[in-house]
Amino acid sequence: MTGVKYIIPKNKGEKLADRPFDAAPYVDAAAALIGLPLDPTHRPGVILNIERIAEMAGLVMAFPLPEETEPAPVFRP
Amino acid sequence: MSGADALTIAALVRGGAVSAVEVAEATLARIAARDPALNSFTAVAKARALADARAVDAALARGEDPGPLAGAPFAVKNLFDVEGLVTIAGSKIDRERSPATADATIVRRLAAAGAVLVGALNMDEYAYGFTTENTHYGPAHNPHDPARMAGGSSGGSGAAVAGGLVPLALGSDTNGSIRVPASLCGIFGLKPTYGRLSRAGARLFAASLDHVGPLARSVGDLAAAYDAMQGPDPLDPACAGRAVEPALPDIEQGAEGLRIAVAGGYFAGVDEAAAAVAKVAEALGVTRNIDIPEAARARAAAFVITASEGANLHFADLKARAGDFDPMTRDRFLAGALIPANWVIEAQRFRRWYQEQLLALFNDTDILLMPATPCSAPLIGQDMVEIDGALVPTRPYLGGYTQPLSFIGLPIVAAPLRSAGGLPIGVQIVAAPWRESAALRVARALERDGVTCAEIAPWS
């Protein structure tokens, strides 16, 4: 973990989608879907954070997991 | 007495050299005198402390055993229920709750071992942070330099112990919240195996990843507190229900017989972080280096699960009163509510895969060493830190080494060293699941040999 690697490098294959993710309309639509009112003063910070989360998720989604790997919500170390 | 650890105080109380009430009074006086500079306490439980101390003294007078931590003062992160106090979890919103009607399980167990609770400690709101820059209650200050962060989210716990206000504190750790403040404040911290200690009566954050544990200035205190808190608890569905496996009796066994390696790759720190790990490795005679696969992805998966579960937990308040959240956490919580389920489930599946990879590493290794934080304490309010010549955002970066490990629940001791610059920095001593005692043995060997440094911060 050196340099800026905490930000996911936009390498080929590491991107969530081929088109750049436009966070603002997603935030507005998803918030409406779940009934979450967004104060206009909070909205820019929420957009920034969903972009950050999308980068993190992009790294997770780019990894080819075997089909038989079960989720671990009930976890025993 | 202010420099004594909990076991030393308990020995003096049990031996009659000092009364528990005298210890409690001295502790309360110290908090009153020194905490204004640290801002580590959010509530002082004076009446309870004196009553519990009197009960310890009365038990001794009757010839009864008040327990292994008799009269030792402790304080808890303010997300633990303490009977009669409002569990605020660093928030303004939860101030409206009724006072807790009972202690959290591990608070009750420490008290049953004779320890005397003296108050509740500052934290990041709802544990969502690594810095304890709490807007509602003010930042916790690092006792080594009050202009610097104490770390978080258990920052009040780190500051109170390093500042010599109490020898022992409880914290919680979802992504590093015990280990980060232990590193920045220069004390020991134990994040046990996921499911080892009951979280019942502790305000959760991200239930898949939440752990609780002790912070202290000696390994003996860490082990003694950990032993007193172990055991099954049907009130916590994640508690594994294992029988008590005491660690304290083994801690003098040293590192002999343990196969130890340094974690390289992602976990290879730079500058003071690398120097601390190198010093520990040299002291232990470790030359082996292991690369842990996919740690950056593990961190990312923990990040996604945390944001999603945290937002779900607080969803009603996010809908009704987002403006009452701390601006330091608010937008992250709001964004977490918008995460597609597909990402969270994939992150949970990745968790399983990653666990299998790391369990395989432990077939021929007992202990892994790596930095606890990438740097020593940044200044309060410092947005960026320079690491290896690059500027990176301080707040998420502080948990970069801790987050991939709590992700799969490994037991870890954070052990403090003094960096060349004079500030403390921690090393993580990571063991296989359920082998807390191995990590504590290594930490004790380092403490005994003078490699670690967990003195009370010099200013106090």
Residues in A closer than 8 angstroms to B307, CB to CB, are: 49, 53
The pLDDT value recorded for residue A72 is 83
Measured between alpha carbons, how far is B349 from B38 in angstroms, rounded to an integer? 42
Q: Is the pLDDT of residue A4 over 60?
A: no
B401 and A71: CB-CB below 8 Å? no
Is residue B218 part of the annotated active site? The answer reads no
Measured between alpha carbons, how far is B125 from B271 in angstroms, rounded to an integer? 31
Query: What separation in angstroms does the CA of A56 have from each of B99, B146, B234, B310, B345?
Result: 38, 33, 35, 16, 14
A3 and B345: CB-CB below 8 Å? no
- Taking the mean position of all CA atoms in its chain, how far away is CA B340? 31
Mean pLDDT of B432-444: 98
Q: Is the pLDDT of residue A16 over 60?
A: no
A2 and B300: CB-CB below 8 Å? no
Residues in A closer than 8 angstroms to B345, CB to CB, are: 71
What's the pLDDT tens digit per position in B273-330?
A: 999 999 999 999 999 999 999 999 999 999 999 999 999 999 999 999 999 999 999 9
* Minimum distance, in Å, between the CA of residue B350 and any CA atom of chain A: 7
Q: Is the pLDDT of residue A19 over 80?
A: no
Task: Identify the closest residue of chain B to A72 by CA–CA distance.
Answer: B348
In this structure, of A12-16, B109-113, B353-357, the range with the lowest mean pLDDT score is A12-16
The pLDDT value recorded for residue B382 is 97
In 3D space, the residue among B72, B164, B169 whose CA is nearest the CA of residue B116 turns out to be B72
Residues in B closer than 8 angstroms to A68, CB to CB, are: none
Angle between helices B105-112 and B219-229 (to 10 degrees): 110
A56 and B353: CB-CB below 8 Å? no
Measured between alpha carbons, how far is B275 from B419 in angstroms, rounded to an integer? 8
Look at the block and give the residue holding tokens 């923990």.
Answer: B302
Would you place residue B397 in the very low, low, confident or very high pLDDT band (cuts 50, 70, 90)? very high
In 3D space, the residue among B89, B87, B80 whose CA is nearest the CA of residue B108 turns out to be B80
The pLDDT value recorded for residue B48 is 98
pTM of the model: 0.96
Best residue in A27, A47, A56, A74 to probe B by mutation, most B CBs within 10 Å?
A56
* Domains of chain B as residue ranges with CATH: 6-448 (3.90.1300.10)
The pLDDT value recorded for residue B1 is 65
| Annotated catalytic residue within B91, B172, B177, B437 | B177
Hey, which residues 414-443 in chain B have their CB within 8 Å of chain A?
A: 433-434
Residues in B closer than 8 angstroms to A72, CB to CB, are: 208, 348-349, 351-352, 355
Hey, which residues 345-404 in chain B have their CB within 8 Å of chain A?
A: 345-353, 355, 374, 387-390, 392-393, 396-397, 400-401
Kindly report the number of other CB atoms within 10 A of residue B386's CB atom.
Answer: 10
Look at the block and give the residue holding tokens 């990843």.
Answer: B209
The pLDDT value recorded for residue A17 is 52
Q: Are the CB atoms for B107 and B80 separated by under 8 Å?
A: yes
Mean pLDDT of B53-71: 98
Mean pLDDT of B202-215: 98
Q: Is B39 left (phi over 0), alpha (psi -120 to 50) or beta?
A: left
* Minimum distance, in Å, between the CA of residue A1 and any CA atom of chain B: 5
Residues in A closer than 8 angstroms to B343, CB to CB, are: 53, 57, 60-61
Question: What is the overall mean pLDDT for chain B?
Answer: 97
Is residue B177 part of the annotated active site? The answer reads yes
Would you place residue B459 in the very low, low, confident or very high pLDDT band (cuts 50, 70, 90)? low
A77 and B433: CB-CB below 8 Å? yes
Mean pLDDT of B224-233: 98
* Minimum distance, in Å, between the CA of residue A4 and any CA atom of chain B: 6
Q: ipTM of this model?
A: 0.94
Residue B267: which of A1, A52, A77 has the nearest Cβ?
A1
Mean pLDDT of A46-74: 94
A60 and B343: CB-CB below 8 Å? yes
In 3D space, the residue among B237, B154, B266, B215 whose CA is nearest the CA of residue B412 turns out to be B215
In 3D space, the residue among A18, A27, A21, A14 whose CA is nearest the CA of residue A58 turns out to be A14
Q: Are the CB atoms for A56 and B303 separated by under 8 Å?
A: yes
The pLDDT value recorded for residue B173 is 98
Measured between alpha carbons, how far is A62 from A7 in angstroms, rounded to an integer? 15
| Annotated catalytic residue within B19, B40, B153, B157 | B153
Q: Are the CB atoms for B150 and B40 separated by under 8 Å?
A: yes
Q: Is the pLDDT of residue B404 over 60?
A: yes
Mean pLDDT of A53-64: 97
Higher-confidence residue of B440 and A11: namely: B440
* Minimum distance, in Å, between the CA of residue A6 and any CA atom of chain B: 7
* Minimum distance, in Å, between the CA of residue B374 and any CA atom of chain A: 8
A75 and B351: CB-CB below 8 Å? yes
DSSP A72: -
What's the pLDDT tens digit per position in B143-201?
A: 999 999 999 999 999 999 999 999 999 999 999 999 999 999 999 999 999 999 999 99
Q: Is the pLDDT of residue B209 over 90?
A: yes
A30 and B401: CB-CB below 8 Å? no
Q: Is B252 in the A-facing interface, judged by CB distances under 8 Å?
A: no
Q: Is the pLDDT of residue A12 over 60?
A: no
Is residue B92 part of the annotated active site? The answer reads no
Q: Is the pLDDT of residue A1 over 70?
A: no
Measured between alpha carbons, how far is B451 from B280 in angstroms, rounded to an integer? 7
CA-angle at B280, arms to B277 and B283, nearest 5°: 150
